[in-house]
Chains A and B, each alone.
Chain A
Amino acid sequence: DADVTQTPRNRITKTGKRIMLECSQTKGHDRMYWYRQDPGLGLRLIYYSFDVKDINKGEISDGYSVSRQAQAKFSLSLESAIPNQTALYFCATSPQGSTDTQYFGPGTRLTVL
């Protein structure tokens, strides 16, 4: 079973719609992250959470919001989707301590028409 899961895996929606992307993990990690990936731009951090009560904006948080419902769940919302939010979205987790490596979910491909 996958340690980090994302739903949905693919989504096509229209401009102005509200969209929620969900991420769940069974790794027991405290830290969770949301990234978007666009061709030629690498991964860009949207939001991150170091525990259930700690949520921080990343470099491109405008137009997005997040909710950390539990240690294992971290959801990303687009309140009113726009076409330039079309991208591949990844959730990742990492443990506290010295490893500092991140484990990625399979990604959600979102298309906003």
Chain B
Amino acid sequence: EDKVVQSPLSLVVHEGDTVTLNCSYEVTNFRSLLWYKQEKKAPTFLFMLTSSGIEKKSGRLSSILDKKELFSILNITATQTGDSAVYLCAALLDSNYQLIWGAGTKLIIKP
């Protein structure tokens, strides 16, 4: 059975801290791994990772994929209260382009 597991399920840190969110996957026909940020409403796209070892960066956020160990991490440096959200990862299947979603990590940044 295809599955994506995120950890931790929730995390509370103070502004300025650095956080690392984890996503491991066990899927057949893996194509890519995607990260989304969900605040109050719809998820918004952050990164898509297809190749191992190539870091994607966007401001204070960065992500990397390890296709040998089947995981990805999302790093956020110098966190701000606006980073508070649920962060979702999903594995995209090559066979039918379905996304298999993790349950998300709820991140709370305290001032």
- B partners with A: yes
Stretch at the interface among A12-20, A78-86, A104-112: A104-112
Name which of A31, A99, A101, A107 has the most chain B CB atoms within 10 A of its CB: A101
CB of B85 closer than 8 Å to a CB of A: no
Closest A residue to B42 by CB, please name it: A104
Closest B residue to A43 by CB, please name it: B101
CB of B58 closer than 8 Å to a CB of A: no
Do A42 and B102 touch (CB < 8 A)?
A: yes
Closest A residue to B94 by CB, please name it: A100
Per-residue CB contact flags for chain A residues 41-52 toward chain B (1 = under 8 Å, else 0) read 111110010100
B100: min CB distance to chain A, Å: 8
Inter-chain CA distance A58–B103, complex, in Å, is: 17
CB of A56 closer than 8 Å to a CB of B: yes
CB of A102 closer than 8 Å to a CB of B: yes
CB of A103 closer than 8 Å to a CB of B: yes
Do B99 and A45 touch (CB < 8 A)?
A: yes
Closest A residue to B88 by CB, please name it: A42
Inter-chain CA distance A42–B48, complex, in Å, is: 18
- Supposing A42-B88, A43-B43, A90-B42 touch, asked if A101 and B48 sit within 8 A by C-beta, the answer is yes
**Which residue in A31, A40, A41 is a CB contact (below 8 Å) of B97?**
A31
- Supposing A100-B92, A107-B42 touch, asked if A45 and B98 sit within 8 A by C-beta, the answer is yes
A32: min CB distance to chain B, Å: 12
Do B98 and A101 touch (CB < 8 A)?
A: no
Inter-chain CA distance A104–B40, complex, in Å, is: 13
Do A100 and B101 touch (CB < 8 A)?
A: no
**Which residue in A42, A58, A104 is a CB contact (below 8 Å) of B104?**
A42
B21: min CB distance to chain A, Å: 14
- Interface contacts beyond A42-B102, A104-B44, A106-B42: sample of 12 additional A-B pairs, CB < 8 Å, sorted by A: A42-B101, A43-B88, A50-B97, A56-B96, A94-B97, A100-B32, A100-B92, A102-B34, A102-B45, A104-B43, A105-B42, A106-B41
